[in-house]
Structures are given as C-alpha cells and as structure tokens.
Amino acid sequence: MGRANRVVLAYSGGVDTSVCIPYLKQEWGIKEVITLAADLGQGDELGPIQEKALRCGAIESLVIDGKEEFARDYAFAAIRANALYENRYPLSTALARPLIAKLLVEAAEKYGADAVAHGCTAKGNDQVRFDVGIMALNPKLRVLAPAREWNMSREETIAYGERFGVESPVKKSSPYSIDRNLLGRSIEAGPLEDPMTEPSEEIYLMTRAIADTPDEPEYVDIGFEKGNPVSLNGKALDPVTLISQLNEMVGKHGIGRLDMIENRVVGIKSREIYEAPALLVLIDAHRDLESLTLAGDVTQYKRGLEDTYAQLIYRGLWYSPLKEALDAFIDKTQERVTGTVRMKLFKGNANVVGRQSENSIYEPDLATYGADDQFDHKAAEGFIYIWGLPTRVWSQKTRG
C-alpha cells in the first residue's frame, strides 16, 4: 500500500497523541497531519490544545464541539436501550468513540485526507471502536495507529517527542490512565491493577465519599419524553445541561461509582473504576418508567435485547446493521415511554420512590386489595386449572 499524504489525527493534547504528529511524518513519511480534538465535555481547555498541535507540526488543528450531539444521539440512545455492559458499566467511554470516528471521517472527507489516525495502543477496546467505526463509515479510508506499533516506553515516547519539539509533560505523570467526558470518568492502571487494592479516594472527582455526603436526602423528578430525559424537577433542559446538572446533583450524594473487573474485546480482563453519576441514575429511572408504560411481554423481550445492545457498543459495532435493526425495535417501544420518575438520593443510593405517566398501563382497580377491586376472583381458579394442566398430567404419569 502506498504512503498516505494527508492524515487526520484524533488529538487529545496528551503525550501520546502529540508524539503521533512528528512520528507520522518522520517514520511513516506522511506529508501533512491535520489534528482533530473533539470537545465531549472532558473539561480540558481546547484553545491551548489547538495551539499545541500546531507547535508539534500539524498543518491544521481542528476543534469541534460535539457535546450536544454526544448527549442527544449517543448517550440518549444508550439510555433508551438501558445499555449496561456486563450488567454494570454504562459505556460512558465507549459511547464517545463512534462519535469521534464520525468526526474524523467527516474531516478526512472535507480536507481530502487519504487516512485517519489515532493514538490507541494494542491492548485496549478503543482501537477496536475507532478502527471498526471508521471502516463502517468510509471503507476507503486507511486507519493508522502509530502507538499500536511503536513499542516505546513512556520515557522513550517523551524523549522521542522532545527531539521533534513536543514539550514533555509539566505535571508529574499520574500512575493512572484516565478517560473523561460529559458522561463520566474511567480510571485504570497503576495501583488499581491489583484487583484486591481498594481505590484511593483521591481518584474520584465526580462523586463524593459517603462520609462527605449530605445528611438529608434529596429528591429529583426526572421527566422523560419517548424515552429521552427532558427535564429535572419540572424544568425543561437541553441534553447537555440536563446531564451536567444531574451529575452534580447525584455525585454530591456519593452515587455513581463502580469498581469492576471487565472483559475487554481483546480477551484481557481489566480492573476498571468508573464514575458515571447521571448516566447510571438515568438508566435506572428510565427502566422503571418502561415497566409502568410498556406491556409486560414487550418489556421482557426488550430486556433480552438490551445486553446485546450494550455488547454492540462495547465491541465497536455502533455503525452496524444489527444496531440499526435493534434501534428500530427500541424506538418503536419508546413511543410510550413518557412520564416522570421520582428518585430519592441519599448516602450513595438513588432509589426510585415514585413514577407517573399519561401512558401508564397500571390499572388501580385491578391491582387494589381494597373495596374497589374489579378483578374477577372466580376466574383465577379456572385459569389455574388450565395453566397447571400439563404439570398435573406429567405428575400423574411420572409419580404414579
């Protein structure tokens, strides 16, 4: 394969992606590197990052605000699907990757690049999500992953960068590897590599320690429309504001931490700490509203698909025919999922304490144990006779 002339590189401003700029040019003969930094709410100042890419030798340094799209088209889709990988991880990092892949492909097409690049290493999930996302969106583009091949230690990477004008990091580098965006933080490596070592309190930034949480519970009413969160305590909010405010509100009560051993796509087990306060609470609230508004068999069937949906996101198949087909099913179910869920936040727990909906199919006259009961009690006996018939016959034949 011939050399790429112009490359769009996913850029974070960190050492690895900065070193990718001279590396692509020096080692792989790329003529022009355009960097792209996506603002997905990671809280970095993007002005300095933009400057830094140019100092490292990029011919153009793009910064794109993707927060709104991230919340609306990625996070909310995952909430509608109640997507939790291995029943726990709400995919806060994983969801950002298909959007970054899409922004890279759009930039490559706009600037006439023949390849895109990223700084992922060979052991993680993110390389899979970028590579597969990019090939799904534009199979003609080549994907370059220098850090997957360069085999340099951290010190060697820094030293390599210094030779080509990449400043070495000012802060003493943390032992942790951290990914952050609007939805949460993922923390791994360093002392966390021992699965028996308790995470030190200082790694958490979005959630308080229980010892520091308020001594009074707080309630929040979360409003949903067609499965999408739209309001907090009756106030309509845009998706980004809603998630940010809810992060604050529930993180203050110590809600939203996870400590888990997960199975990566590449077969490695890894120990990961997550903070995803709003996302976890939104999924709980959403799932509850579904149980009020959806027919029982629809709910059960959908629960069976949710794990598949979470796996698709985790494994880099956001842009795939199965994901599209599942979306069609999920979107149909969500037409009814409008209403409000009341959560009580207290000492690390967010519990659903109430729910209501104009589409509720809860029928008080059937459910009540009081005088208004409309349920036909006599019908129960005949129903059980027929329901239990095969069991009775089986027992007669086999127990004698």
Closer residue to ligand ARG, CB minimum distance, 188 or 327: 188
Identify whether 97 is a catalytic site residue.
Answer: yes
Cα 103–55–69 angle (5° rounding)?
20
Work out how close the CB of 370 gets to ligand ARG at its nearest, in angstroms, rounded to a whole number.
49
Measured over the CA atoms of residue 143, residue 149, residue 155 and residue 160, the dihedral's sign is negative
Identify whether 126 is a catalytic site residue.
Answer: yes
Told to check if 93 binds ligand ARG by CB under 6 A, we report yes
Task: Please give the residues from 259 up to 278 whose contact with ligand ARG meets the rule CB under 6 A.
Answer: 272
Q: What is the DSSP string of 264-308?
A: -TTS-EEEEEEE-HHHHHHHHHHHHHHHHHS-HHHHHHHHHHHHH
Closer residue to ligand ARG, CB minimum distance, 223 or 256: 256
| Residue 395, token pair as written in the block | 């027992």
The rounded radius of gyration (Å) of the Cα atoms in the chain is: 25
Task: Please give the residues from 43 up to 62 whose contact with ligand ARG meets the rule CB under 6 A.
Answer: none
Closer residue to ligand ARG, CB minimum distance, 177 or 299: 177
| Residue 152, token pair as written in the block | 């340099």
Quote the CA–CA distance of 83 and 90 in Å, as a whole number: 6
| Helix, strand, coil in percent for the chain, rounding step 5 | 45, 20, 35
Work out how close the CB of 195 gets to ligand ARG at its nearest, in angstroms, rounded to a whole number.
14
Closer residue to ligand ARG, CB minimum distance, 138 or 177: 177
Told to check if 188 binds ligand ARG by CB under 6 A, we report yes
Quick one: three-class SS letters along 160-186? HHHHCCCCCCCCCCCCCEEEEECCEEE
Quote the CA–CA distance of 68 and 368 in Å, as a whole number: 44
Which member of 73, 88, 142, 177 is catalytic? 177
Work out how close the CB of 400 gets to ligand ARG at its nearest, in angstroms, rounded to a whole number.
57
Work out how close the CB of 231 gets to ligand ARG at its nearest, in angstroms, rounded to a whole number.
29
Work out how close the CB of 192 gets to ligand ARG at its nearest, in angstroms, rounded to a whole number.
10
Closer residue to ligand ARG, CB minimum distance, 274 or 346: 274
Helix (H, G, I), strand (E, B) or coil at 341: strand
Closer residue to ligand ARG, CB minimum distance, 125 or 334: 125
| Residue 290, token pair as written in the block | 């579904």
Phi-psi region of 316 (alpha: psi -120 to 50; beta: other; left: phi over 0): left
Which member of 18, 39, 61, 126 is catalytic? 126
Closer residue to ligand ARG, CB minimum distance, 96 or 343: 96
Quote the CA–CA distance of 324 and 108 in Å, as a whole number: 24
With contacts defined by CB under 6 A, name the span among 174-182, 295-303, 319-327, 329-337 that binds ligand ARG. 174-182
Told to check if 357 binds ligand ARG by CB under 6 A, we report no
Alpha-helix runs per DSSP H in 151-276: 154-163, 239-251
Helix (H, G, I), strand (E, B) or coil at 229: strand
Told to check if 40 binds ligand ARG by CB under 6 A, we report no
Helix (H, G, I), strand (E, B) or coil at 328: helix
Told to check if 94 binds ligand ARG by CB under 6 A, we report yes
Work out how close the CB of 338 gets to ligand ARG at its nearest, in angstroms, rounded to a whole number.
30
Least Cα distance to 15 among 140, 126, 141, 150 occurs for 150
Helix (H, G, I), strand (E, B) or coil at 210: helix
Which member of 18, 80, 92, 97 is catalytic? 97
Contact with ligand ARG (CB under 6 A): which of 50, 125, 213, 293? 125
Number of residues interacting with ligand ARG: please give it, by CB under 6 A: 10
Closer residue to ligand ARG, CB minimum distance, 4 or 75: 75
| Residue 4, token pair as written in the block | 């790429």
Contact with ligand ARG (CB under 6 A): which of 181, 186, 207, 334? 186
The pattern of x and - marking residues 298 through 337 that bind ligand ARG according to CB under 6 A reads ----------------------------------------
Quote the CA–CA distance of 142 and 105 in Å, as a whole number: 10
Told to check if 177 binds ligand ARG by CB under 6 A, we report yes
Residues near ligand ARG, by CB under 6 A: 93-94, 125, 177-179, 186-188, 272
Enzyme catalytic residues: 16, 97, 126, 177
